[in-house]
Structure 1
Amino acid sequence: MSVQLFTYEEVSTHNTRDDLYMIINNKVYDITKFVEEHPGGEEVLVDEGAKDATASFNDIGHSPEASEMLEKYYIGDVDPSSAPVKGGASNSNGEKSVSASPQGNPLRIIIPLSIILGYLYFRFFVKSA
């Protein structure tokens, strides 16, 4: 039995809630039916879908059960001769549906905000008591 190979470009065209592929560890998954069931919300999958989401998947620290769940959505492997697609791709209707906003770690906002709030709390509530 041969494994179907997908290029990064092919995966990038499956980028809507109704047709969503994702690459994790060089394996391609059709996660369309899982979008509504995802405990972290569907928006996360749509934002990370249609591309290699290995780093995001591993950074979250998914449970072994989550990794096992992937197997039922497995549809093939990434063609090793293909190259990752830069930027978001358009679907067959020419619509750009993958988020075009800059992706980043929310801690870059949360940590400085926490420091400022801690300083203000100390300055006005602890010191004046």
Structure 2
Amino acid sequence: MGGEDKVFTLEQVSDHNNSKDCWLIINGKVYDVTKFLEDHPGGDDVLLSATGKDATDDFEDVGHSSSARAMMDEYYVGEIDTSTFPTKTKYTPPKQPQYNQDKTSDFVIKLLQFLVPLVILGLAVGVRFYTKSA
């Protein structure tokens, strides 16, 4: 790990965003993955699309193996300067009225209590007229 003391800004890392010079930020560390582009199982487009931002979520979502994680050491070039890095904001869902299961269930039960006897009555009348006419 030759670049242990090197600290990069997001702007500096973002400048390395093409197939001849590709750097990624994963878990606050900067990696020069240019030599790995051709060998990456997901293709070089996956890596190139992750430049210029924090690629940690992209990396973790794929579920890389422990051997893939071990390979990262050879591509390490330094750390990201967190003061130049945008902070993540936690998503807060909008306030909405709570869904009340009991009110919905009560409505369905009352509706069925009204409709089921009507259906039975309709069938009884229908059968009676059918048997008289036959």
| Runs of 5+ unmatched residues, structure 2 | 87-134
CA contact (8 A) 2:4 2:78 kept: no
In structure 2, the partner of 1:51 is 53
| Runs of 5+ unmatched residues, structure 1 | 85-129
CA contact (8 A) 2:22 2:34 kept: yes
User: Of 45, 62, 68, which aligns to 2:70?
Assistant: 68
- 1:73-120 superposed Cα distances (whole Å, 9 cap, x missing partner): 000000121124xxxxxxxxxxxxxxxxxxxxxxxxxxxxxxxxxxxx
TM-score, normalised to structure 1's length? 0.62
Task: Confirm whether residue 78 of structure 1 aligns to residue 80 of structure 2.
Answer: yes
What is the RMSD of the two structures over their aligned residues, measured on CA atoms?
1.4
Q: CA deviation at 1:48?
A: 1.1
Q: C-alpha distance in 1, partners of 2:45/2:9?
A: 24
Identity value in percent: 50
Q: CA deviation at 1:69?
A: 0.5
TM-score, normalised to structure 2's length? 0.60
Q: C-alpha distance in 2, partners of 1:67/1:50?
A: 21
> Greater shift after overlay, 43-52 or 62-71?
43-52
Tell me which amino acid in the other structure corresponds to 2:52.
A
CA contact (8 A) 1:20 1:50 kept: no
Change beyond 3 A, Cα 1:2–1:15: closer
CA contact (8 A) 2:5 2:78 kept: yes
What SS does the corresponding residue of 2:64 show, helix, strand or coil?
Answer: coil
User: Of 10, 13, 37, which aligns to 1:11?
Assistant: 13
User: Of 28, 31, 48, which aligns to 2:30?
Assistant: 28
The runs of at least 4 aligned residues of structure 1 exceeding 3 Å deviation read none
Aligned residues: 84
Change beyond 3 A, Cα 1:41–1:83: same
